[in-house]
Structure 1
Amino acid sequence: MKSLAVRIAIALVFNAITLWVASVLPGVRLGAGFLWAVVVFTAATLLVKPLILAMFHRRHAQRADGRKRVLSKAVTMAAGLLATLAILVVTSIFSNGFTINGILGWIAATVVIWLASFIYDFVDDGLEAKANELLGGAASTGKP
């Protein structure tokens, strides 16, 4: 249970930083409900992203064989971009602390936050293990 709390806390902090960084982009604004926007963004990431990625991978698995490595990477990247866009739409609809205006704002925010998700994927396991070590728990480096 402690490990789940640590994982959620790390995700909330990282997502807060990511949304704050994205707010410097044209058309992207933070509001008074920023903390709620972070909670909505984190929840949407946990719910929407796996659904979209699974949908793309299921369709791609039906059409591609093992020889199409480049196509597989492109499909994964497209799925990630689409998932990020969907997460941003959900966040902007259900929170008043994060808004995006204009096509340039939507494109820039989607790409920047999608790139930030790569960074998060590289560091989250190490951060979780270090936090669990500092909290006196067993270091868990694998994702569930």
Structure 2
Amino acid sequence: MVRFLVHTLIFLGSAALGLWITSLILSDNMSLPLMALLVATVVYAVAQWILSPLIFKMATKYANAILGGVGLVSTFVALLIATLVVDDFTIDGIGTWIAATVLVWLITALATWILPMFLLKEAAEKKKG
């Protein structure tokens, strides 16, 4: 149970970092105020959690060539859902949508890889001590 909670926190934290940093980089064409960030993080994370395996399964069945892009496709769709559900979350322009998709995907992937090093290392040290 604790492991599930830690993984959930890492997933939510990486989603929040991805959305927040991307909104800072693309601030001219992407609006994501703090309260919208909190709601968008949950919506985005849940959408990613549901969409990633679904899109992977569909790609495996119908379009093997896009298997490498499953993360990008699910990120785009999750961003689209989040902008439709969260009132103050806007992304304007095709270029901004492409940049936001790539940046959120990249930052989230990096955060998902790096956050456990800090969170789980700290938990392991507490367990030892």
Q: TM-score range by the shorter chain?
A: 0.7 to 0.9
After superposition, the Cα gap between the structure-2 partners of 1:77 and 1:130, relative to the gap in structure 1 and judged at 3 Å, is same
Q: TM-score, normalised by structure 2?
A: 0.80
In structure 2, the residue matched to 1:30 is 32
The answer to whether the Cα contact below 8 Å between 1:15 and 1:41 also exists between their aligned partners in 2 is: yes
The structure that is helix-richer by fraction is: 2
Question: How many percent of aligned residue pairs carry the same amino acid?
Answer: 30
Give unmatched runs, 5+ long, in structure 1. Answer: 62-70, 138-144
Q: Is the 8 A contact 1:28 1:98 kept in 2?
A: yes
Provide closer, same or farther for how the CA distance between residues 100 and 47 of structure 1 changes in structure 2, counting only shifts above 3 A.
Answer: same
Q: What is the CA distance between 1:99 and its match in structure 2?
A: 1.6
Q: Which residue of 2 aligns with 1:65?
A: none
Answering whether residue 85 of structure 2 is matched by residue 94 of structure 1, we say yes
Partners of 2:18 and 2:105 within 8 A in 1: no
**Greater Rg over alpha carbons, structure:** 1
Moved more, 36-45 or 127-136: 127-136
CA-atom RMSD in angstroms: 2.4
1:110-121 correspondence to structure 2 within 5 Å:
110-121=101-112
Q: How many residues align?
A: 125
Output the TM-score relative to the length of structure 1. 0.72
Matched, 1:103 2:94: yes
Shift of 1:35: 0.7
Question: Is the CA contact (8 Å cut-off) linking 1:15 and 1:42 kept in structure 2?
Answer: yes
> Structure 2: where are the runs of 5+ without partners?
none
Q: Who is 2:15 aligned against?
A: 15
Alpha-carbon distance between aligned partners in 1 of 2:74 and 2:96, rounded to the nearest angstrom: 16
